Structures are given as C-alpha cells and as structure tokens.
A and B are shown apart, each in its own frame.
Chain A
Amino acid sequence: MESVVVKNITKTYGKEKKIAVDDVSFSVNKGELFGLIGPDGAGKTSIFRVLTTLLLADRGSASIDGLDVVTDFKSIRNTIGYMPGRFSLYQDLTVEENLSFFATLFGTTIQENYDLIKDIYIQIEPFKTRRAGKLSGGMKQKLALCCALIHKPNVLFLDEPTTGVDPVSRKEFWEMLKKLKEQDITIIVSTPYMDEANLCDRIALIQEGKILSIDSPKNIIDNYPDVLFAIKADKMYPLLQALSVYPKRLASYAFGEFAHFSFQGKPNQPDLLQFLENKGIKNIEIKEAAVTIEDSFIKLLS
C-alpha cells in the first residue's frame, strides 16, 4: 500500500524562479524506510516542506495516506511527525516540558503513547528537568525525535537528522529508526551521508532538484555499469594525479585509503601498473573494488 505519493512536484523560489525541486515524482510504501540522499541545495528540505503541508508547490500534487497536501492539510498535520533539520524545540523549556507540550498540541499525553518513544526516551529521561537548550547534540536529536513521535504519526519525516552529529551518535540514531520501522511507521529521511543510504529500504539520489535514481541500495549498486578498481600506493596525491592523466581512464577519485578507478573499454591492470610505475608511484596495489552508493552517486553526477 502506498503511504506517500508525490507526482511531478516543482517548486521555484523568488522573482528569478530559481528551481529548487524539478518535476519530482516518487512514492513510498507503508512501513517503508525511504531515504532522500543528496547534498545541500539538492531540494530535500523543499520536498519535505511540501509534503508536511508547510509549503505550496508551483506544480504537481502529493498525498499522504490518500489525503491531499493542499486541500486536506489540516488532517495531514495530525497524522504526520516532522523533525526539521534545524533544532526547533523550545530551548527554554525542559526536556519533559517540551515533550508534554507537543503531546498536548496533538491532544494526547506522554503516557498514552509512551510505548512508542520508550526506547529513545529512557536515554534522555535522566536529564528530563534540564532545559532543551543545554542538551548535547545527540540528546537534542533524541528529544526532537520523541516530540515528533509523541502523537503516534503514520508517517515520520526526518530532515537531515544526523547532520553535524558524530559517527557514534549517527549509528545509534539509525538503530532507533530500525526499531521504529518495526512499529509499521513509514519513515522518510534525508541525509547527505552516502554511507547511511545502505540502511534504507529504498533511496532516491537527488541533486539540483532532480532525482537521479530511485531504487533499493542493492539494485543501485548492482546496476553500476563499470568494473571498479581500488588502487593503493604509498602516497595518495601523486597517485591521484598520475591516474588522472592515464590515457584509458574513465574515472578516478580518492576513496578512503584507496583511489577508485575505472577503465575506458576493457580493463588492463598490467598496463595501468606499468604506467603508474613509470610515473614513479611506489608500492602499488590494484584490486577489484566493491561498489558503494557513493560510487553510484559520483557516476550519476558525471
């Protein structure tokens, strides 16, 4: 069953009609964890704001559980949870006050839906009398998630929940999302971190308002068209420079401790090795690389 349907949404801003979202269509199934993956300025937040009924699109339509985002906006607001990219709780209220405030707004109580937030809330409960403004980044994020969940929404929108958060807190956050998924809540999450894409059921890779690809992370990786190699040497920068001038180069770029590389036409590792050695590169190791979402994204951008 489709929970979120987006059809040909276009959104422009200002007199110059600067395009933020360019004819975007996708749908998300009930209980699915769907990721919008792309850099700043790709249009992720605009899409979120259209879907959460906070922004009118120039063209196109969208619905949440069959309710139209324009005509049925009031009903939608009761059935969705939204965690904006910027911390938007009341800094001067305590943890507990913020949570009961949001519960009251939605005509419910903390007790009524405590089950849903319990796993997350117990981590911040020791600080429940602390003002939200005094919490650490990771704790703020947990509180914001509790507040977005307290009315038991059908669809949860999380706009860059892990931006600026360290890798440990990021990992914990994704563990929480996995648990929420088991409760049959549809989750749409955006992130600029490519490594988080693998944790979604399906993802849309998005750049400059356009969707480049929508599929499961596995299918996106399986559809990578080239044979990718990982190359290592004693020094990265000279290696990258040498690779960039190899005549039969299709693509080359740094990837962690390796450089990723693909050939134009048939791969010829011995020839490449010879070329690099002639360039004075030392301790060269060439092996086939496992493709990641980041490789797919880079390919789609080129």
Chain B
Amino acid sequence: MSKKVISCKGLTKRFGDFTAVDSITFDVDKGEIFGFLGANGAGKTTAMRMLCGLSNPTSGEATIAGFDVYKETEKIKKSIGYMSQKFSLYDDLTVQENITFFAGIYGLSDKAIKENSAALLKQLGMEDQANKRVGSLPLGWKQKLAFSTAIIHKPEIVFLDEPTGGVDPVTRRQFWDLIYEASGNGITIFVTTHYMDEAEYCNRVSIMVDGRVEALDTPTNLKKQFGLATMDEVFYHLAREAKRGE
C-alpha cells in the first residue's frame, strides 16, 4: 500500500457562524499530483492554510507528513514547501539571494545551500542569471524559480496555489514538466488552478463547493461519473450550484 502523506478526516473551520470548510475528508499518497479545485470562495485557501499548519481547525483530524495539524505545526512547516502566484520571491533580491534566503528559512546548512542552489541554477539553466534581480526576470522564469526554491529542502509535500497564472501556453507546460519531475522524485504535489486542462494533468482531483468536497477521483473517472467530456464541464456542473461567493 502506498504511503499517505496527507490524511484528513472531517476537517472543519468555522469563523463565527460561517463554516468556511465543512468536514472535508481525503487522503493523498506519496508522489501523487493532487488537484485541489473549487470556485472562488469555496474554501480552498482556508483548507490549505490548515493543511500547512497556519490555521487551527475548529474540528476534525488531519496529519501532514505524519504530523498532527493541531500539535505539530512547526514540524509540518519544515516538511512542506509552498508557492503561490501572489507571493513567492522577493523582486528586489537577486536570484541567488532569494535561493539562499529561502533555503536558510527552510533550515538548510550553509554547505547544503551552496550545493543545492548550484544544482538548482544548473537544472533551470539560470547560471547566468544568478546575480540578476528577480524583478527583472520574465514571469515564466520567476515561476520556475519559485517552484524550485519551494522544494530546495526536498519536502514531503509542496503546496502550489495557482502557480501558473498569466504565462504563455509553452511556459505553462514547461512548469508542469518540473511538477512531473518532482512527483517522480517522490514529492507530493498539492495544486490549485483555474486552468481546467491542468486539472487533467493531476493524478486525482477534488472539487470543493461551498466548503465541502463534492467530488474526488481521477479526471477520467470524474468525467465518466458525470457523463461529461471535459473537466471544464465537470467543474462547471458542480460549481454553478454554489450558493456563496468569495
């Protein structure tokens, strides 16, 4: 049996009388690419914050890389990587400075930082850019760099919150090559996206509607289950029933 890296059961978060996340239950395996979809306001960000150890659940259970989301949040933070479209790298720092900074935050030794960042720059073909400020790089490069930095400490899981917005279709695919490679190396990928073709690239996909996980399966099975041709249609079918906005 494959190892469960994320396991949550009845996980719930309430803010006052508003239930942002309503008893979600699922497991994610080691090395799996897990798509976490939902309309704006469905509760994705709140759920992700709980899974990252940044927000205490109201009720339910969850373990991330074997650590409890109530009691072992510091251990969770060391076992995960995180990248979002909104914030990932410091524009005013150089490529090398960003890598050194984040690797340091993730607790790598000076020696490991040196080795890992050299390997990272080589893998991305960015050796010549090492001393350029991140703000001057094209968006696609920034995204690739942000992803590689988020996994520089070889975490068990990397959380990607809409990582590929705004880039051209070729660059978007290059980004997914990095995801596949990381997954092949045993890193679990937990990704949100508004691009439904990217949902098809995931091993399994969950769709959240109004705080609940309304569907969870492989893209092929989901399409079969709803008798629809594309993930776009499956998403639309489920999410248009949503009662609440953001």
Contact = CB atoms under 8 A, between A and B. Distances in A.
Interface of A: 38-42, 136-139, 163-169, 171, 192-195, 207, 236-237, 240, 253-257, 294, 297-298, 301-302
Given A163-B165, A294-B169, A171 B236 contact: yes
B1 interface: no
Contact of B219 (A164, A168, A257): A257
A253 B184 contact: no
Interface string B182-204: 01100000000011110011000
Contact of B171 (A39, A169, A195, A256): A39
B167 A138 contact: no
B176 interface: yes
A13 to B, nearest CB: 12
Contacts of B184: 237
Given A39-B139, A42-B168, A254-B176, 14 more contacts: A39-B140, A41-B138, A136-B246, A167-B39, A167-B196, A168-B39, A169-B40, A192-B166, A193-B195, A237-B184, A253-B170, A256-B200, A298-B170, A302-B170
Contacts of B180: 236-237, 240
Contacts of A194: 169
Interface of B: 38-41, 138-140, 162, 165-171, 173, 176-177, 180-181, 183-184, 194-197, 200-201, 219-220, 230-232, 235-236, 239-240, 242, 245-246
A268 B193 CA distance: 36
B220 A257 contact: yes
A199 to B, nearest CB: 14
B189 to A, nearest CB: 12
Contacts of A301: 168-170
B40 A165 contact: yes
Identify which of B165, B181, B235, B242 gathers the most chain A CB atoms within 10 Å of its CB. B165
Q: What are the 10 tightest A-B residue pairs by CB atom distance, in nearest-first order?
A: A136-B246, A136-B245, A40-B166, A39-B168, A256-B200, A237-B180, A166-B39, A256-B197, A257-B200, A166-B40
Contacts of A166: 38-40, 194, 239
A40 B167 contact: yes
A274 B177 CA distance: 24
A297 B41 contact: no
A297 B168 CA distance: 9
Nearest to B237: A168
Given A40-B166, A136-B246, A237-B184, A256 B173 contact: no
